[in-house]
Amino acid sequence: MWKIHQRLSHEQAELIHDEVVLDHLQRERGRFKTVATSGKEVRVFLERGQPLLIGDVLRSHCGKNIAVIGALESVATASTDNWQQFSKACYHLGNRHTKLQVGECWLRITPDHVLEELVQKFGLSIRHEKAVFEPEPGAYVRRAANHSQHERVHGHHHH
């Protein structure tokens, strides 16, 4: 079993020994148990209030580096070619304190029929899929230094 008390950025890690695949809810927690892709048990004890980011590296008590990978999860992806409709949909979702991931004229939320109806009222089309969900962090949460590194680490491209 690996006990984790330290978080590194991907730039600080010289060698990756294993990976943990975490969904967005797991990445928000400071203390949890999981299993690495090798099958090794991992127990994480980090500061609360600073979600893990895809691409972060966890350092075990014995010096092993474990990369944080985003898990595929059920999401609703809404898109449009109309920037004004897109902006209004984002505004109204933000007013509801909805976790969302924002791309270029697309947004991603966890499936919720009420929120999906809301964005459809603004002319966005909805597609249900499995994807890595990276909601926008709060205003006071640290951000990744290099987003293109994130895309490479979690292995998918946005539409």
Q: What pLDDT does 13 receive?
A: 74
Instruction: Give me the helix-helix angle, 83-95 and 113-121, nearest 10°.
Output: 140
Closest CA to 122 of 94, 84, 159: 84
Please give the CATH number for the structural domain made up of 2-70. 2.60.260.20
Q: What pLDDT does 8 receive?
A: 87
Q: Please tell me the class of the 72-154 domain.
A: alpha beta
Q: What pLDDT does 116 receive?
A: 98
Q: What pLDDT does 60 receive?
A: 94
Q: What pLDDT does 47 receive?
A: 87
CATH 2.60.260.20 residue window(s) in the chain: 2-70
Q: What pLDDT does 156 receive?
A: 43
Single-letter residue type at 15: L
Rounded CA-CA distance 98/91 in Å is 10
How does pLDDT run across 47-56, given as a tens digit for each residue? 888 889 999 9
Q: What pLDDT does 139 receive?
A: 64
Q: What pLDDT does 32 receive?
A: 96
Q: What pLDDT does 124 receive?
A: 98
The whole-model pTM stands at: 0.81
Q: What is the DSSP letter of 137?
A: P
CATH 3.30.70.790 residue window(s) in the chain: 72-154
Q: What pLDDT does 83 receive?
A: 96
Report residues of the chain scoring pLDDT below 50. Answer: 145-159
Rounded CA-CA distance 39/142 in Å is 30
